[in-house]
Amino acid sequence: MIRVQRGPSPRELTATKIQELTAEYLADTSKAVWNKPYIRKSLLAMSRNKCVYCETRIDEESKYMEVDHYYCKDQHPTKVVEWINLLPACKRCNVNKGSYDIATEGELVDPTQDDPQQHLILVNYRLRGRDDKGRRVVEHTYLNETNRTVKARFEIGASVSEAIERLSTLVEECLPTPSDRRKLSQLERGMLALLEEARPTSEYSATVATILAGIPEYRIVKDGLKTLGRWSPDMASLESQMLQCNLG
């Protein structure tokens, strides 16, 4: 989970429209009145096409995206199309959260309001709460479901670890003979590609960022690039984005 900047309410969602859709829902609670293309599109843009809880990729074409209600619609029907109550989620997280009631059962981390770094830590591919808000979001959206989320984190983590280990070998080869331009270029491109995977726009960015920021080889490669005069402003900018996603 990473911090998500909530964008402005879609312009189609006027006060009158909110009243109209809420009335429609109150008259028939089987109607998914929030399921409007303009709402879905704005939510997807806000989360960079990812589930705000588990960071899996969701998009309009795949139809994997569901509109999660932070205050559940069963207990809080008047908030059913309230912009700040809507979050883009994958089916798994939305179904798991179900009709959990924030108001009576306790608040969960809302990454559009809270900074996940304050509430969560990632250890051995498993998320742990730093506080009750964090513990509850892990528990009620099943963020440590072994066959799904933990496995996905492990797979991406293994590939990131392997890639940074390769780069650390490469940097050791480059340091004594920095004239090998092919190797230097491989090193630069490799580091940029890895840092890009840790950007907030990438799938599972919290996992990638936490692994990269915590693995000793990252420091070896970064220091090597600096010694070689190849640590670029682009890398520095990507690194600062990575640190915003780090749950270590």
Q: Which of 43-51, 98-106, 202-210, 211-219 is the region at the interface with Zn ion (rule: CB under 5 A)?
A: 43-51
Q: Which of 46-54, 95-103, 114-122, 125-133 is the region at the interface with Zn ion (rule: CB under 5 A)?
A: 46-54
The residue among 53 and 231 lying less far from Zn ion, judged by its C-beta, is 53
Q: Does 53 bind Zn ion (CB under 5 A)?
A: yes
- Note the helical H segments in 145-203: 151-174, 181-197
The residue among 67 and 93 lying less far from Zn ion, judged by its C-beta, is 93
Cα 73 to Cα 80: distance, rounded to the nearest angstrom: 6
Buried b (16+ CB within 10 A) or exposed e, 5-30: ebeebbeebeeeebeebbeebeeeee
Min dist. Cβ of residue 212 to Zn ion (A): 22
Min dist. Cβ of residue 138 to Zn ion (A): 12
Cα 222 to Cα 102: distance, rounded to the nearest angstrom: 43
User: In the Cβ-directed half-sphere of 201, how many Cα atoms lie within 13 Å?
Assistant: 4
The residue among 56 and 85 lying less far from Zn ion, judged by its C-beta, is 56
Cα 136 to Cα 72: distance, rounded to the nearest angstrom: 15
The residue among 34 and 204 lying less far from Zn ion, judged by its C-beta, is 204
Q: Which of residues 68-107 bind Zn ion (CB under 5 A)?
A: 90, 93
The residue among 53 and 100 lying less far from Zn ion, judged by its C-beta, is 53
Cα 92 to Cα 142: distance, rounded to the nearest angstrom: 9
Cα 230 to Cα 179: distance, rounded to the nearest angstrom: 13
Min dist. Cβ of residue 63 to Zn ion (A): 14
Min dist. Cβ of residue 180 to Zn ion (A): 44
Buried b (16+ CB within 10 A) or exposed e, 191-205: beebbbbbbbebbbb
Q: Does 54 bind Zn ion (CB under 5 A)?
A: yes
Q: Does 67 bind Zn ion (CB under 5 A)?
A: no
Min dist. Cβ of residue 217 to Zn ion (A): 30
Cβ contact 75:103 at 8 Å: yes
The residue among 79 and 97 lying less far from Zn ion, judged by its C-beta, is 97
What are the structure tokens assigned to 167, written together?
Answer: 């780069």
Min dist. Cβ of residue 157 to Zn ion (A): 18
Which residues sit at the interface with Zn ion, rule CB under 5 A?
51, 53-54, 90, 93
